[in-house]
Structure 1
Amino acid sequence: MKIAISANHAEKSQNVAAELTDKLKKAGFDLDCDQPSVVITIGGDGTLLNAFHKYSDRLDEIRFIGVHTGHLGFYTDWRDYEIDLLVESLIYETEQSVSYPLLDVILSYSDGQPDRKYIALNEATIRNIERTMVAEVYIRDEFFEKYRGDGLSVSTPTGSTAYSKSLGGAVVNPRVKAIQMNEIASINNRVFRSLGSPLIIAEDDWIRIDLKRDDKYQLHIDHFVESQVNLASAYFKVSDKQIHFASYRHTHFWRRVNDAFIGNM
């Protein structure tokens, strides 16, 4: 087993990473950041998101483990004081995993440049930088609505507990292979009208958003942000890829939700 450790820059996380590195070496594990089969993140959800995108081209070969050193971590199953238990679990582990759906995003441009493809663990969001965003929304290439507002966000089931939830979206169990679209401050009156409710799209469907040409847009993929010019359309679907978490200490999804938002389970 080849293991990579990815920690944020906080002093506590760096200390835990040093301790874990030492214990893994003493246990005979091979530490390899280039070709790992297991990636251990130390910090919080942002640290895991960084590692996910770093290894996004090798998701079929990697299982992730999250060690939590902060106040709240939705993707982290271990605490910083459980390093000995984690190493012991790695020694006797069975290579089983729990898998969650991901989101494919494909952008097309009006100036002839090649399409760009992205993958998201939580969500992808498009906003117009300069003015109200105007977009036509298609579901499986059938026109659904004309949207006006601040932007549109499409999330995965695990991402339904992140930005999507703050937009009024439903919390979706990741065993449901679906994506969810939420409107951001939509304009709804006698002249302009969109559904105004979250849309949950099945695994074999897709969403296409056609955008007003020559406007400037901002694309958010998880916690990364890119400016986009000459953007013509964005296509969203459930990805063929999945993220895999080592399952010997993987917290049940609804317990995660309870711990994160309620805290009395």
Structure 2
Amino acid sequence: MIDRKKTYLFYKPSDELEEKVQAIRKVGRKHGFQLVEDPNDANIIVSFGGDGTFLQSIRKTNFRDDCLYIGVNDGKLGFYTDFSTTDLEKIELGLQSDNIEVLRYPTIEVTVDGMKSFQCLNELAIRSNIIKTFAMDIYIDDIYFETFRGDGMVVSTPTGSTAYNKSLKGAVVDPKLKSMQLTEIASLNNNQYRTLGSPLLLSKERELVLKIIQDGNDHPIIAADNEALSIRHSHEVRIKVSEKEIKTLRMKDNLFVHKVKRSFL
């Protein structure tokens, strides 16, 4: 049973979606939930849409670790969305039963050039902004590991391991493991450049450092989750598993194994 009931609704209005949201508003009021206009006043933030909308709701509300995020999908269930606008009965059941639990998702903290820091729930991607490879020196805990040349790198959280990372042949990781995964994007392996050539899973105690080699392609694109960042002239990117976790609501009959099986098998 949810005790904290100040709720903010995050979605992109449309005539079709608004009708469904209004129906869910009635269910919320029935169970004593209070709607607020400012997300800073809420202790529950509900997104309506797919996994992308759920990620945006977290990013636009500054990765709050003092509130509960709930994803309601307008269609098929996703990895972050346990509820659907088409199943009001399940939503109402979730609001009043013991068939729900709070799940804590790990995030990664990224610092660019020792100044700009931000969080990611899915992944950080760093790749060339032109049709040309670029090079980076890779350090783990400030120990030189390898020199990479290719299209880029993806550093994913366990929950982000099933998204972009999986398409790059990365491993699918249990979200209960507090870790991050480094996966290459089209690396060159020859007599001059040699990389591990496989995904690398690092524990929460590690710090990963990507140092961009200045050789003519010095301004790669940096993307956090599903949003490109306006960061230019970057030289060093430091990444570690953050102490900040995102709390979300999950039905006990929709576990990680169920989600992987439903999505890929």
What TM-score does the superposition give when structure 1 sets the normalisation length? 0.89
Alpha carbons of structure 1 residues 142 and 196: separation in structure 2 relative to 1, 3 Å:
same
Contact 1:7 1:17 in 2 (8 A): no
SS at match of 1:103: strand
Post-superposition shift, 1:141? Answer: 0.5
Match of 2:247 among 232, 236, 244: 244
> Which segment drifts farther, 226-235 or 7-16?
7-16
- Note closer, same or farther for the CA distance 1:172–1:11 as it changes in structure 2 (3 Å cut): farther
Q: Is contact 1:96-1:248 (8 Å) kept?
A: yes
Q: CA deviation at 1:229?
A: 2.1
| Helix, strand or coil at the partner of 1:176 | coil
RMSD: 2.1
Question: Secondary structure of 1:13's match?
Answer: helix
Runs of 5+ in structure 1 lacking a partner? 109-113
Tell me how far 1:234 sits from its aligned partner.
0.3
Equivalent position of 2:232 in the other structure: 229
Counterpart of 2:64 in 1: which secondary structure? helix
Corresponding position of 1:175: 176
Any gaps of 5 or more consecutive residues in structure 2? Answer: none
What whole-Å deviation, never above 9, does each CA across 1:112-167 have from its counterpart, x for those lacking one?
xx610110110001112133111000001000000000011100000000000000
Judge conservation of contact 2:77–2:83 (CA < 8 Å) in 1: no
**Residue type of the alignment partner of 2:141:** R
Could you tell me whether the CA contact under 8 Å between 1:77 and 1:250 is conserved in 2? no
Tell me which moved more, 92-101 or 163-172.
92-101
Sort the Cα spacing of 1:57 and 1:175 in 2 relative to 1 into closer, same or farther, 3 A: closer
Give the SS at the match of 2:160: helix
Preserved CA contact (<8 Å) 2:58 2:64: no
CA–CA separation in structure 2 for the residues paired with 1:166 and 1:142: 29
Distance 1:158 1:138, change over 3 A: same
What's the CA shift string for 1:6-31, capped at 9, x where partnerless? 22445443322121123323443210
Cα distance in 2 between the residues matched to 1:223 and 1:249: 27
User: Which residue of 80, 103, 126 maps to 2:85?
Assistant: 80
Letter in 1 for 2:156: S
Corresponding residue number in structure 2 for 1:119: 119
In the alignment, which residue of structure 2 is the partner of 1:203?
204
Alpha-carbon separation, structure 1, partners of 2:147 and 2:80: 35
1:81 is aligned with what amino acid?
T
Where do residues 31-42 of structure 1 align in structure 2 (5 Å cutoff)?
Answer: 31-32=35-36, 33-34=38-39, 35-42=41-48
Give yes or no for contact 1:77–1:249 (8 Å, CA) kept in 2: no
8 Å CA contact retained: 1:8, 1:14: no
Instruction: Give the deviation of 1:93 after TM superposition.
Output: 6.8
2:233 is aligned with what amino acid? N
Q: Aligned letter for 1:196?
A: G
Q: Provide Cα deviations, 1:171-225, integer angstroms capped at 9, x if missing partner.
A: 0001111000011000112222111110101110110000124711211101100
Once residues 98 and 171 of structure 1 are traced to their aligned partners in structure 2, the CA distance between those partners, rounded to angstroms, is 18
Q: TM-score, normalised by structure 2?
A: 0.89
Query: Given that residues 21 and 85 in structure 2 are in contact (C-alpha distance below 8 angstroms), is that contact kept between their aligned partners in structure 1?
Result: no
Corresponding residue SS for 1:201? strand
252-261 or 7-16, larger mean C-alpha shift: 7-16
Q: Residue 4 of structure 1: CA displacement?
A: 1.3
Q: What does residue 143 of structure 2 align with?
A: 142
**Amino acid in the other structure paired with 1:16:** K
Letter in 2 for 1:20: I
Please name the residue that 1:158 is paired with.
159
> Per the alignment, in what secondary structure is the counterpart of residue 81 of structure 1?
coil
Equivalent pairs counted in the alignment come to 256
**Would the aligned equivalents of 1:67 and 1:80 in 2 still touch at CA under 8 Å?**
yes
Moved more, 25-34 or 138-147: 25-34
Counterpart residue number, 1:111? none
SS of 1:170's equivalent in the other structure is coil
